[in-house]
Structures are given as C-alpha cells and as structure tokens.
Amino acid sequence: MDYIQSAEEIGLFCRLNSNIKKDIPIRSSEMGVLIYIYKNGEMTTPQMISQFFKIKKPSVTSQINVLIKNEFLIKIPSQVDGRSYSLKVTDSGRNLVETTFGEYLKFVKLLHDEMGEDNYHQFINLIHQANQILGNTL
C-alpha cells in the first residue's frame, strides 16, 4: 500500500467516524470534553483539557462556552487567580453523560465486536502509537 492510498484510508476512517450520527444534543467533540471533565473531577481546567486533547486553548474555550450555554457545565472561579477557573459538571451534564455514554461508545464496541479481540487490541495499540508519534510533532 503506498502513502497516497494509506492517506486515503486514514482520511476515510476519520470521515466515517466523524459522520456517525450520535443521538446526543451536542457535538462529539463537546461530549468528549464533558466526559473528560466528568471523569476527571471538579478541578479540571481549560489548560488540562487543551493538553489532554492536544487542541489549542481557543478551541477548548469554544467547546466550554457551548457546554455552559447548554447548562452542562459551570465555571468555578479560582480563589488564587481571578482570571483562572475550573469546571464543574452540572446535574444535567452528569445526566447526559450517564444516559448517553453507551451511545457515544457504540461504534467503538462495534469495531471491537467485528474485528475480534486480538485485532481490536492491535488496532488500538497502533492508534496509540500513532497518536504518540504525531503528538510529539505538535
């Protein structure tokens, strides 16, 4: 397989994954942020989100603003620095995560089930390795 065909396959995988219609009221990227904060706890900051997802702070701010507007998150001002804040998942945000987490992960489970245990774990390990390589270039 040459590089062009490889790039086309990677691109198709990304498009198929991003075009999957998930039955959630926010974009998948916003849901990912909400799940991260839910799992991480109340002391989550925008900087932590930026580092975890390897995205720039303005993108994080945009996603946070959507989640706050939809009343899934609230800002908790820092006691030390008036410009800083952490994020807290609201009851409605917690409910969204708990009721839609299965829907959000449905296609990951589909890959697991259709690929089989060994191929799926090899696939995830290779994606992890690729993420590390690409993450080091940022």
Question: Which among 84, 124, 112, 97 is positioned nearest to 40, based on CA atoms?
Answer: 97
CATH number of the domain enclosing 68: 1.10.10.10
pLDDT in tens, 41-76: 878 999 999 999 989 999 999 999 999 999 999 999
Q: Which domain holds residue 93?
A: 25-135
SS3 127: helix
The vertex-10 CA angle with 57 and 53, nearest 5°, equals: 20
Does a structural domain hold residue 12? no
9 part of a folded domain: no
The answer as to whether 96 is a domain residue is yes
Cα angle 61, 137, 11; round to 5: 80
**Per-chain mean pLDDT for the chain:** 89
In a domain, 8, yes or no: no
Q: Is position 126 within any domain?
A: yes
CB 65 within 8 A of CB 72: no
pLDDT averaged per 10 residues, the chain (length 138)? 88 78 81 94 90 92 97 92 90 93 82 96 94 82
82 within 8 A of 37, measured Cβ to Cβ: no
- How many domains would you assign to the chain? 1
Model pLDDT, residue 20: 65
Region of 116 (left: φ > 0; alpha: ψ -120 to 50; beta: rest) is left
Residue count (the chain): 138
C-alpha distances out from residue 9 to 3, 13, 14, 91, 97, Å: 10, 6, 9, 40, 31
Quick check: pTM over 0.75? yes
| 67 belongs to a structural domain | yes
Domain membership of residue 5 (yes or no) is no
